[in-house]
Structure 1
Amino acid sequence: MYSAAMSTAERLIESTRELLWERGYVGTSPKAILERAGAGQGSMYHHFKGKPDLALAAIRRTAEELLATAEEVLGGPGTPYDRIEAYLRRQRDVLRGCPVGRLTMDPDVVADDELRAPVDEALDRIRERLAGLVEEGQEQGRFAPSLDGEEIAAAILATVQGGYVLARASGSPAAFDAAVRGLLSLLAPRNP
């Protein structure tokens, strides 16, 4: 499943990331992590203090990956609207859901300040980046000056996360796509 060159610690982190996405914190047992990683008993405790420490490393990695993916699109070419559209329409496994969004629905992650922190930070940074794009669009005369960048950024994130939920509930990415199209029609740029 994993590359032979991947270290045991890396296999443990990647296995934990996958299991957290699939099963949540409580459903991710040390035994399941070790089996998925192909690691021997005790290797988790050799590299990490225990499940919470390993889960934190996995959550941080997931948050970093989400941020890198978002920044690649939001920092790309085009107008602010083009970049927001690219973020909303980027390739996603819609029916699987968002790995960070999944963590926000996990009561054990949300209840633990340390585990929740990377999730909060990632969503805050994306929200800030989106708000900055709205403000940039306003400066260029492409978005109405009456828009509140923070509110629009929150609406964009809510559309993405809510779109995942609707798609999973219906078993079809069509609900996600409809939410994206609706939001983009509301954000349609003004002619400068």
Structure 2
Amino acid sequence: MYSDPMSTPDRLIEATQELLWERGYVGTSPKAIQQHAGAGQGSMYHHFAGKPDLALTAIRRTAEELRGTAGRLLDAPGSAYQRISGYLLRERDVLRGCPVGRLTMDPEVIASDALRAPVEETIGWLRDRLATIVQEGVDRGEFSSSLVPQDIAAAVVATVQGGYVLARASGSTDAFDAAARGLLALLAPRPDAA
């Protein structure tokens, strides 16, 4: 399943990332992690204090990966609208849902301050980054001065997360795509923008 050069800790972390996304915290047993990673019980406990420690490391890595992907799109050249559009319309595994957003539905993750922290930080980072881009669009006259950047940022995040839910419920990516297109239509630059 994993290439030989990948270290045992990395295999364990990657396996945990996949299983958390697929099964949630409770459904991700140490045995399942070890089997998925092709690692023995001793190696798991040699590198990590236990399932909570490994899960926290995996959640942090998932959060970093999401920030990296979103950051590349949001920091790309182009207008504020183009960058937000690039983020909304990027290729993603819609029917699997968001690997970070799905963690918000996991009672064990939400009940743990430590496990919840990287999720909360990542969503906060995304909202702040989007709000900055919306403000840039307002300042350049691309968007209406009546827009409240933090509100628009929250709407973008809610559209993405809600789009995942709608798509999973219908079994089709069409619902996600429609939500993204709808939000982009509402954000379309003013005709008189330079």
**TM-score of the superposition, structure 2-length normalised?**
0.98
Q: Any runs of at least 4 consecutive aligned residues in structure 1 with deviations exceeding 6 A, and if so which?
A: none
| Paired residue secondary structure (1:116) | helix
Uncovered stretches (5+) of structure 1, i.e. residues with no partner: none
Q: CA deviation at 1:43?
A: 1.2
RMSD: 0.5
Q: Which residue of 2 aligns with 1:18?
A: 18
Alignment TM-score, normalising by the size of structure 1: 0.99
| Cα separation, 2, equivalents of 1:117 and 1:165 | 22
Identity of aligned residues (%): 70
| Helix, strand or coil at the partner of 1:42 | helix
Superposition deviation, residue 77 in structure 1: 1.0
Q: Partners in 1 of 2:109 and 2:148 — Cα distance?
A: 31
Corresponding residue for 1:61? 61
Matches within 5 A, 1:66-145: 66-145=66-145
Structure 2 alignment gaps of length 5 or more: none
User: Paired residues, what number?
Assistant: 192
- Cα distance per residue 1:43-88 (max 9 Å; x no partner): 1110000000000000000000000000000000110000000000
State the match for 1:176 in structure 2. Answer: 176
Q: Counterpart amino acid of 2:13?
A: I
Task: Return the alpha-carbon distance in structure 2 between the equivalents of residues 40 and 62 of structure 1.
Answer: 23
Shift of 1:41: 2.0
Q: CA deviation at 1:34?
A: 0.3
**Secondary structure at 2:96's aligned position in 1?**
coil
Residues of 2 paired with 1:175 and 1:123: CA distance? 22
The aligned counterpart of 1:38 is 38
Q: Kindly state the Cα deviation for residue 163 of structure 1 after the two structures are TM-superposed.
A: 0.1
1:171: how far off? 0.4
